[in-house]
């Protein structure tokens, strides 16, 4: 009888070890504009728009990611394509859950019967209710366990910053919905802020500028394309010119206008000043010793919007502190989720919610 019990215990231990070995780990950068999925050992395996297309008739989800983004502005009345994330947090719980299920399922592929451990990024200024919503959505979407970590910490980890050291490091993560600014030392956040001003706001500002200046209506996707093609944070001598097509507000007919780089500088100036103010506010809250470290090391910029031309130059002019864009800034947060998942004990102080 005792032999059978021992065998049963050994089998159970072996089974638990087997399950632990085959439990997939996924890091998810759940952004307002894009969602990236990172798998330890493989890197970023998914990078798709955080967009879902829904049928208004039966509330059925028709497409997610690239398929849904292609529908924006091109759908009939009964189909709506929109983003369930707003300013970095969940605006539509049911749709976000469905979107997470799609990304988790696509990332796992043929290993879908193993529930994954998932780590998800959230904005620095997220509330406890918003954190719980993200964790619950991940669990209901098929995760075995879910951890939530602030974007600033993950961006620093992904950028290769040694956040465990007793030295000040400033990270500015500028995504689609939010800009997160934080000073990190000894694995924790010393001073931080999060503002709802980032890439999406710049796109809307460009569309509004073209509307007021040229009486031309363009969509946010066209505005984003213009920002990427010719945008700059400071005026330049050698301007780039692009042809922008849209609808004339007076005649109602299609029209094309020429837009130059310095037009975009004017369009986004107000919003960039808001981002600079957030950086200055955090610098003013930073203890003197850590501020000295930041002056020596500079500010590290991550996120897709940090790639706007001459952005580091603007920060240097307005704060007196040098700034540089991290390598692969778009992937820093996603990479940070994967690294933190592999070393949970090391980064357990950074975890703000789990289940």
pLDDT, tens digit, 9 for 90 and up, residues 33-56:
889 999 888 888 889 888 888 888
Tell me the pLDDT of the chain averaged across its residues. Answer: 87
285-316 as b/e: b if 16+ CB within 10 A: ebeeebbebbbebbbbbbbbbbbbbbbbebbb
- With bands split at pLDDT 50, 70 and 90, how would you rate the model's confidence at 285? very high
Q: pLDDT tens, 120-169? A: 988 887 888 888 888 898 898 888 888 888 899 999 999 999 988 889 99
pLDDT for 347 equals 77
- With bands split at pLDDT 50, 70 and 90, how would you rate the model's confidence at 353? low
Across residues 61-90, what is the average pLDDT? 79
Q: How far apart are CA 127 and CA 115, in angstroms?
A: 27
Across residues 218-244, what is the average pLDDT? 94
Q: How far apart are CA 44 and CA 338, in angstroms?
A: 9
Per CATH, the number for 162-325 is 3.30.420.40
Across residues 63-67, what is the average pLDDT? 86
Q: Is 74 left (phi over 0), alpha (psi -120 to 50) or beta?
A: alpha
Q: How far apart are CA 239 and CA 260, in angstroms?
A: 6
Kindly report the backbone phi and psi dihedral angles of residue 246, in degrees, each rounded to the nearest multiple of 5, phi listed first: -165, -165
| Residue 254: pLDDT over 80 | yes
Higher pLDDT, 341 or 168: 168
- Take residue 321 and report the two structure tokens written for it: 């502190």
Residue where the block lists tokens 């007076």: 250
- With bands split at pLDDT 50, 70 and 90, how would you rate the model's confidence at 329? very high
Residues of the chain with CATH 3.30.420.40: 2-47+92-154+333-354, 162-325
Lowest mean pLDDT among 9-18, 136-145, 164-173, 237-246: 9-18
The alpha carbon torsion through 62, 64, 69, 70 (nearest 10 deg) reads -50
Q: pLDDT tens, 170-201? A: 999 999 889 999 999 988 899 999 999 999 99
Q: What is the pTM of this model?
A: 0.85
| Fold of the domain built from segment(s) 2-47+92-154+333-354 | Nucleotidyltransferase; domain 5 (3.30.420)
**Which residues, at least 6 apart from 194, have a Cβ–Cβ distance to it below 8 Å?**
88, 123, 124, 125, 126, 178, 179, 180, 181
């Amino acid at each position: 009888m005792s032999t059978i019990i021992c065998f049963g215990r050994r089998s159970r231990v072996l089974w638990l070890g087997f399950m632990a070995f085959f439990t997939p780990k996924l890091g998810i950068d759940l952004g307002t504009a894009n969602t990236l999925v990172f798998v330890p050992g493989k890197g970023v395996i998914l990078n798709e728009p955080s967009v879902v297309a829904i049928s208004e008739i039966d509330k059925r989800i028709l497409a997610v990611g690239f398929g849904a983004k292609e529908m924006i502005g091109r759908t009939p009345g009964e189909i709506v394509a929109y983003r369930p994330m707003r300013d970095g947090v969940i605006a539509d719980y049911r749709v976000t859950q469905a979107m997470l299920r799609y990304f988790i399922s696509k990332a796992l592929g043929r290993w879908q019967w193993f529930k994954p451990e998932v780590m998800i990024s959230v904005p620095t200024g997220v509330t406890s209710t918003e954190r719980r919503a993200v964790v619950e959505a991940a669990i209901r979407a098929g995760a075995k366990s879910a951890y939530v970590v602030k974007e600033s910490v993950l961006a620093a980890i992904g950028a290769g910053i040694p956040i465990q050291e007793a030295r000040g490091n400033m990270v500015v993560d500028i995504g689609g919905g939010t800009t997160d600014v934080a000073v990190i030392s000894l694995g924790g956040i010393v001073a931080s802020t999060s503002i709802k001003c980032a890439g999406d706001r710049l796109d809307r500002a460009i569309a509004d500028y073209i509307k007021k200046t040229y009486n031309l209506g363009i969509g946010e996707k066209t505005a984003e394309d213009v920002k990427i093609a010719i945008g700059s944070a400071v005026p330049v001598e050698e301007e780039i010119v692009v042809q922008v097509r849209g609808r004339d507000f007076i005649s109602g007919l299609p029209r094309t206008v020429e837009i130059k780089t310095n037009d975009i500088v004017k369009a986004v100036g107000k919003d960039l000043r808001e981002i600079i103010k957030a950086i200055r506010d955090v610098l003013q809250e930073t203890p003197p010793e850590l501020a000295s470290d930041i002056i020596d090391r500079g500010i590290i910029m991550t996120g897709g919007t940090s790639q706007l031309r001459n952005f580091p130059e603007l920060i240097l002019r307005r704060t007196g502190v040098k700034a540089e864009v991290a390598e692969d800034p778009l992937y820093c947060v996603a990479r940070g989720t994967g690294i933190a998942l592999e070393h949970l004990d090391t980064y357990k102080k950074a975890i703000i919610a789990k289940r």
